[in-house]
Amino acid sequence: MLRSARFTWLMLCLALLVGHTSPAAAELALSGQIGTLGLQGQVSVPMGKYFAGRIGVSALPSWSISTDVSNLNFDYSMALYTVGAFLDWHPMAGGFRITGGVILNSSDINADVTPAADQSFKIGDHTYPGYALGKLNSKADFNPIAPYFGVGYNGAFYAQDRLSFTCDVGVMFWGAPDITLSSDMTKLVPGLEKDLKREEQELENNLDYLKYYPVASMGVSWAF
């Protein structure tokens, strides 16, 4: 009877000890976040007291922006998929972190416009009737490799509880967009292709602000 009671007490103490072990000894943390990069999944590993390494993937399947050029509205639809590698510095050996990293992105940004056939539009140096422009397609490309800098919080390796709040605020520097503007009438209308090239520059100027992509996200993290 006494041996049974001692064994039960010992097992209870061990269970309490395991249940309250600080995640500072954890070797891995998984995070789920949602934000301007879409849905994100991340894996973090501690690298000493002040640093952690992190790899994440994200998907933003639907996003849109609009701009006007030559009285034509280009409504861009966008799909963005990213893979990132980050180094987190926890200067106070706590949840607050300063992050630098690299994001590999695969973006697909397109806009289609069909000008009104009975209206005229100035494209480049010339004016064209809408029917001569046909269907216009505009595609935006960004640098596939983008540096990242930001700040955030993740207490997975520092809090008493293994479940922790996590968030990030930063900037992805993927450069100004490279615009390609085309029409299904360029082979039939003399000079149209050259004038569309001139319009590409105006579109690029209108979308130049996109070279700095804001990154903001929040979610939860679990340490193992």
23 or 16: which carries more pLDDT confidence? 23
10 or 186: which carries more pLDDT confidence? 186
pLDDT > 90? residue 38: yes
pLDDT > 60? residue 119: yes
Mean predicted confidence (pLDDT) in 167-179: 96
Mean predicted confidence (pLDDT) in 65-69: 90
pLDDT > 50? residue 200: yes
pTM: 0.81
Mean predicted confidence (pLDDT) in 95-102: 97
Q: Please tell me the predicted confidence (pLDDT) of residue 40.
A: 98
Q: Please tell me the predicted confidence (pLDDT) of residue 62.
A: 85
Q: What percent of the chain has pLDDT over 90?
A: 76
State the residue range of the domain holding 132: 27-223
Please indicate, yes or no, if residue 19 is contained in any of the structural domains: no
Dist. CA 112–CA 74, nearest whole Å: 7
Dist. CA 71–CA 79, nearest whole Å: 26
Scan for tokens 């609009």, then name that residue.
Answer: 66
Q: Please tell me the predicted confidence (pLDDT) of residue 36.
A: 95
Please indicate, yes or no, if residue 15 is contained in any of the structural domains: no
Please indicate, yes or no, if residue 212 is contained in any of the structural domains: yes
Mean predicted confidence (pLDDT) in 146-151: 98
Please indicate, yes or no, if residue 154 is contained in any of the structural domains: yes
Q: Please tell me the predicted confidence (pLDDT) of residue 162.
A: 86
Of 219, 224, 160, nearest in space to 28 by CA: 224
Strand segments (E) across the chain: 29-35, 38-46, 51-69, 72-89, 96-113, 120-123, 126-129, 136-141, 145-154, 163-173, 178-183, 212-223
Please indicate, yes or no, if residue 192 is contained in any of the structural domains: yes
91 or 23: which carries more pLDDT confidence? 91
CATH number for position 121:
2.40.160.170
Q: Please tell me the predicted confidence (pLDDT) of residue 25.
A: 64
Mean predicted confidence (pLDDT) in 39-65: 95
Please indicate, yes or no, if residue 93 is contained in any of the structural domains: yes
Q: Please tell me the predicted confidence (pLDDT) of residue 14.
A: 37
The chain-wide mean pLDDT, for the chain, equals 88
Sign of the torsion angle spanned by Cα atoms 144, 145, 148, 153 = positive
Please indicate, yes or no, if residue 11 is contained in any of the structural domains: no
What Å distances lie between residue 188 and 74, 113, 123, 131, 183, CA to CA?
23, 18, 16, 12, 10
Task: Supply the DSSP string of 51-116, one letter for each residue.
Answer: EEEEEEEEEEEEEEEEEEETTEEEEEEEEEEEEEEEEEE-TTSSSEEEEEEEEEEEEEEEEEE---
Please indicate, yes or no, if residue 1 is contained in any of the structural domains: no
Number of domains the chain contains: 1
Mean predicted confidence (pLDDT) in 1-8: 44
